[in-house]
Amino acid sequence: MQQLVFATNNRHKLDEVAAKINGQIALLTLDDIGCHDDIEETGTTFSANASIKSHHIYNKYHVNCFGDDSGLEVDALNLEPGVYSARYAGEHGNHAANIKKVLEGLGDTPNRKARFRTVISLLWNGEEHFFEGTVEGTIRYEVSGEGGFGYDPIFQPDGYNITFAEMTMEEKNRISHRAKAMDGLIAFLNKV
């Protein structure tokens, strides 16, 4: 079975990807390879940040790996928070503060159009390949649901009347931005 390192310490992302891969590939974590580096995301695009992560791991450990970067783009906020989604309100990973900042920024604005975007950078035998996924939706006026993470409690995907946080992981994995990017990655790996 092929082995692949996912360059993340985010347990939620890892669980989503592992469920999507469903045992087709041996997915290794940074812990599995003994990597405890704090890989700084200094890029200004999702592609750049994903590439920074994958190159860091590949150059240091010489293993096939992929990194991703994801975020929420809100049309009425000039596509913010974008690449700064995890630290939009200042503190990295403070989901409640990030959600509050988005909701305050939108106020009563009727244009709630938004999307989640994921870009994956795969380094396979030294060659880089990119895979992207997006899911369109709207930002709710208030938080709804207990599941998921990040902005999931305020993001309602098009065609649904519930937020990502109200979906099961299986439901979300069928339509999410990360799932779509992973579909591209898995299709690529099935051909190598």
* 8 A C-beta contact, residue 50 and residue 71: no
- Using left for φ > 0, alpha for ψ between -120 and 50, and beta otherwise, residue 79 falls in left
User: What is the CA angle 55-78-102, rounded to 5?
Assistant: 90
Amino acid at 138: T
CA distances in angstroms from 78 to 43, 81, 111, 177, listed in the order given: 18, 8, 12, 20
Active site residues: 69
pLDDT for 17? 78
Read off the pLDDT of residues 158-175 as tens digits, 9 standing for 90 and up.
999 999 999 998 899 899
Second CATH level (architecture) for the domain 3-191: Alpha-Beta Complex (3.90)
C-beta separation of 61 from 123 below 8 A: no
pLDDT of 39-78, one tens digit each? Answer: 888 999 999 999 999 999 999 999 999 999 999 999 999 9
Q: Is the model more confident about 113 or about 169?
A: 113
- CA–CA dist 144, 160 (Å, integer): 13
Known binding positions: 8-13, 40, 69-70, 149-152, 172, 177-178
**Mean pLDDT of the chain, nearest integer:** 92
Domain boundaries, the chain: 3-191
